[in-house]
């Protein structure tokens, strides 16, 4: 009986020691308590890297455009935010003219991204599949991508020299 009481007392003391967090040291008089954790970083811009024509299945034709979407904060650091992506693709009438848009050839919308979609280095890989559009060799386009974050803010990035075929 004495051994059982000793064993139960030991178990009780160990379980109390394990479950209790160490006490926080008191804040000395005249000093402010530690600052709370900083709020989540806010997106201030997005980057779409270098969008490229890609083939992601077994056939030889180009399937669409692939790029890495990277939302960034004011310090140019990636912010892993969920959101909705949309994109528009225009033909580029002249390789030399940066701002001129040709015909609108594709639109994509409702592309949902979550925090789980992010790669620690590159952001979110987005694939925009061509539908009813077959680009010609050496054809260029202008890609405009918009991200709408959960707080309703909208961010747009544009790349004006996207090669549409390989």
Can you give the residue range of the structural domain that contains 88?
45-163
CA atoms of 20 and 97, how far apart (whole Å):
68
Domain count, the chain: 1
CA atoms of 70 and 68, how far apart (whole Å):
6
- Is 86 a domain residue? yes
- Is 127 a domain residue? yes
- Summarize pLDDT for 93-137 with one digit per residue, the tens: 876 766 678 899 999 999 999 999 999 889 999 999 999 999 998
% of the chain beyond a pLDDT of 90: 61
The CATH number for 132's domain is 2.60.40.1940
- Is 6 a domain residue? no
CA atoms of 92 and 140, how far apart (whole Å):
5
- Is 16 a domain residue? no
At 92, is the secondary structure helix, strand, or coil? coil
User: Which residue do the tokens 């020691």 mark?
Assistant: 17
User: Which residue do the tokens 């954790």 mark?
Assistant: 37
- Is 26 a domain residue? no
- Is 25 a domain residue? no
- Is 59 a domain residue? yes
Indicate the pTM of the whole model.
Answer: 0.74
Cβ atoms of 112 and 87 closer than 8 Å: no
At 40, is the secondary structure helix, strand, or coil? coil
CA atoms of 97 and 6, how far apart (whole Å):
86
- Summarize pLDDT for 1-20 with one digit per residue, the tens: 555 454 455 554 545 445 55
Query: CA 100 from chain center: how many Å?
Result: 29
Cβ atoms of 52 and 65 closer than 8 Å: yes
Average pLDDT over residues 141-157: 97
Q: What is the mean pLDDT of the chain?
A: 84
Residue 16: in which H helix or E strand, if any? helix 2-19
């Amino acid at each position: 009986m004495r051994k059982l009481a000793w064993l139960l007392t030991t178990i009780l003391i160990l379980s109390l020691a394990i479950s209790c967090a160490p006490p926080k040291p008191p804040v000395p008089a005249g000093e402010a308590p530690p600052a709370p954790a900083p709020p989540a970083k806010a997106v201030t811009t997005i980057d779409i890297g270098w969008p490229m024509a890609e083939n992601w299945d077994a056939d030889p034709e180009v399937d669409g455009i692939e790029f890495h979407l990277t939302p960034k904060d004011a310090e140019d650091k990636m912010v892993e935010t969920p959101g909705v992506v949309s994109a528009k693709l225009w033909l580029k009438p002249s390789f030399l003219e940066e701002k001129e848009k040709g015909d609108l050839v594709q639109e994509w919308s409702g592309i949902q991204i979550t925090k789980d979609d992010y790669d620690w280095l590159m952001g979110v890989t987005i694939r925009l599949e061509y539908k009813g559009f077959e680009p010609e060799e050496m054809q260029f386009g202008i890609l405009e991508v918009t991200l709408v974050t959960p707080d309703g803010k909208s961010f747009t990035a544009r790349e004006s020299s996207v090669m549409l075929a390989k």
